[in-house]
Amino acid sequence: MRDWARVAREELARRGLDCRDEVATELGEFLDDACQELILSGAEPNRAAVLTLERTGDWSQLARRLKRLEEVPMERAKRLWIPGLVNAALAFGLLRAATAAGLEPFVRLQDHGALVVYWQWLPALPVFAAVAAWWSARRGGLAREQLIAGLFPSLAMLTLMLLGFVVSNTVEATMAARGIGRVPVPLGVQLPTLGLYLLAWVVVPGVLSLLGTLPLVFSARHRAVA
């Protein structure tokens, strides 16, 4: 029997649309029904398959319309931004609560700063990530949207840290050029410290979030194609 979901996915991919699994499955069901009906009415299977594709209509138009629907901002917000932001709000809210409750972090002094890790906070991250990925999947999010929603706290932290690094260095360099402020710390010293911060606040939380996200992404994908 022909895999019509795959046919639909490939036809749309050829026209630049990476369609969601459930869309491919649904379009495949339609094509399968159409083909089966032709066979029941006496068409030879290969001929029925050709006729089914001929009667599909304009694939380019379909891809264009589906793409337009995918790009509706509210739809993207439901699939990506809302689950991602909820994930980040839960993660940072819990971190805030942990600091307010006076939980003792792991602290390691560095040459230019201190590495502070609230290790008690970390085990909650896979749970929040799983909730975000599940939410995104329920709203029909693509695998990559589920992943981004799950990794949202780490991605937000990465963006903030890199932005902070660039802005503070730019400001310091500008002030130093005008002879005000302190002498900037050399990049050779800053970068290892930044790397350590990224490891503690982006990479480790990111890996934990990924552990929570991946099973959901795979199970959603499995359900959609089953």
Residue 15: CB minimum distance to other proteins, A = 11
Q: Residue 136: name the closest of 62, 212, 68, 205 by CA.
A: 212
Residue 51: CB minimum distance to other proteins, A = 12
Residue 73: CB minimum distance to other proteins, A = 11
Beta bridge partners of 116: 107
Q: Residue 161: name the closest of 131, 202, 217 by CA.
A: 202
Q: Residue from 6, 14, 55, 144 that binds other proteins (CB under 8 A)? A: 55
SS3 3: coil
Q: What is the widest separation between alpha-carbon atoms in the chain? A: 89
Q: Is 172 in the site for other proteins (CB under 8 A)?
A: no
Residue 197: CB minimum distance to other proteins, A = 41
Q: Residue from 17, 62, 151, 208 that binds other proteins (CB under 8 A)? A: 62
Stretch 11-50: interaction string toward other proteins, x if CB under 8 A: -----------xx-xxx-xxx-xx----------------
How many C-beta neighbours within 10 Å does residue 133 have?
A: 32
Stretch 73-112: interaction string toward other proteins, x if CB under 8 A: -xx-------------------------------------
Q: Going by C-beta distance under 8 Å and a sequence separation of 6 or more, which residues neighbour residue 39?
A: 45, 48
Of the pair 71, 111, the CB lying nearest other proteins is at: 71
Total number of residues binding other proteins (CB under 8 A)? Answer: 25
Structure tokens that stand for 87 in this block: 């994930």
Of the pair 129, 137, the CB lying nearest other proteins is at: 137
CA distance from start to end of the chain: 15
